[in-house]
């Protein structure tokens, strides 16, 4: 995807220079599009702000940026919420290969389902999220459950598949998956190898 983006930008010099990229930065893009090696100074440029610009443009190409903004707009109106389940696992670095179609959101206001950017937000209402463990993504501002919270939330979401995945990750990674591992050994089960294709993931 990034290479396709670079090729596209390289063909649009009049549009992107100097609005998006300075002439020196554009020369780096041209070199990348031709498969030429960068010198150390050019590599340094590529690791800086230029990298962030390319990442944002890549999100525009895939529609991810629009999707994130749609989620953010809706969830900010809920205020007391956090994303749990497979989407949170993916955010936390486990199951990065998941292509989640249903995003589970624990919140204190709304129950129901909403379609956004081709995905379903399953809104699950609870009395309070005060004692729940979650963190805020610095880039998007979205709130995601910690791994231990995802495991606890299975009782609320009734998502057996997420429970199976968490059990397998807990068995495999132990303290890398959950810091306070001893408290969660009760959840640990021998689940064997999960056939992800069976669940359409």
Q: For residues 125 and 176, state if they share a domain.
A: yes
Whether the per-residue pLDDT at 1 is higher than 80: the answer is: no
The answer, yes or no, to whether residue 190 has pLDDT greater than 50, is: no
Mean predicted lDDT score pLDDT of the chain:
79
Calculate the CA 25 to chain-centre distance: 28
- pLDDT for 51: 80
Q: Does residue 95 come out as left (phi exceeding 0), alpha (psi in the -120 to 50 range) or beta? A: left
Ramachandran sector of residue 151 (left: φ over 0; alpha: ψ -120 to 50; beta: rest): alpha
| The pLDDT value given to residue 200 | 45
Q: Are residues 118 and 149 in the same domain?
A: yes
Separation CA 36–CA 87 (nearest Å): 37
As a whole number of Å, the end-to-end CA separation of the chain is: 21
Domain span at residue 163? 68-199
Check pLDDT > 90 for residue 186. no
Task: Read off the pLDDT of residues 20-72 as tens digits, 9 standing for 90 and up.
Answer: 788 888 899 899 888 888 888 888 888 877 887 787 677 656 555 455 666 67
One domain for residues 47 and 79:
no
Predicted pLDDT at 167: 84
pLDDT at 106 over 90: yes
- Whether residues 45 and 108 fall in one domain: no
Residue whose C-alpha is closest to residue 147's, from 157, 133, 160: 133
83 and 124 belong to one structural domain:
yes
**Is residue 81 predicted with pLDDT exceeding 70?**
yes
DSSP element (H, E) containing 25 = helix 23-33
Query: What tokens were used for 69?
Result: 């903004």
User: Are 57 and 147 found together in one domain?
Assistant: no
* 101 pLDDT more than 90: no
Both 51 and 108 in one domain: the answer is no
CA dist list (Å): 196 to 13, 99, 101, 102: 44, 11, 14, 15
pLDDT at residue number 66: 55
Distance in angstroms (rounded) separating the CA atoms of residues 178 and 143: 18
CB atoms under 10 Å from CB of 144, counted, come to 20
Report CA 7 to chain centroid distance, whole Å: 26
Q: Are residues 181 and 149 in the same domain?
A: yes
Co-location of 107 and 153 in the same domain: yes
The number of folded domains in the chain is 2
What mean pLDDT comes out for the span 105-132? 86
- In this prediction, residue 88 carries a pLDDT of 93
The answer on 44 and 78 residing in a single domain is no
Residues 6+ apart with CB under 8 A from 188: 167, 170, 171
Question: Minimal CA–CA distance to 96: which of 165, 185, 199?
Answer: 165
Scan for tokens 């969830």, then name that residue. 75
For the segment 146-175, the average pLDDT, to the nearest whole number, is: 88
Q: What pLDDT sits at residue 99? A: 79
Domain match, 91 and 53 both: no
Q: What is the pLDDT of residue 191?
A: 42
């Amino acid at each position: 995807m990034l290479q396709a983006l670079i090729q596209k930008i390289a063909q649009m010099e009049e549009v992107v220079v100097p609005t998006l990229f300075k002439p020196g930065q554009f020369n780096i893009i041209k070199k990348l599009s031709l498969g030429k090696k960068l010198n150390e100074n050019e590599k340094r440029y590529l690791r800086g702000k230029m990298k962030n610009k390319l990442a944002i443009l890549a999100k525009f190409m895939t529609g991810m940026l629009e999707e994130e903004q749609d989620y953010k707009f809706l969830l900010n109106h809920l205020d007391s919420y956090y994303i749990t389940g497979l989407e949170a696992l993916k955010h936390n670095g486990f199951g990065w290969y998941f292509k989640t179609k249903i995003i589970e959101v624990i919140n204190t206001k709304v129950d129901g389902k909403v379609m956004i950017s081709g995905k379903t937000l399953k809104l699950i209402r609870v009395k309070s999220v005060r004692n729940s463990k979650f963190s805020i993504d610095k880039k998007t501002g979205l709130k995601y459950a910690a791994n231990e919270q995802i495991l606890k939330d299975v009782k609320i979401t009734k998502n057996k598949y997420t429970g199976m995945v968490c059990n397998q990750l807990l068995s495999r990674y132990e303290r890398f998956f959950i810091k306070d591992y001893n408290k969660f050994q009760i959840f640990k089960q021998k689940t064997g190898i999960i056939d992800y294709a069976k669940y359409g993931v």
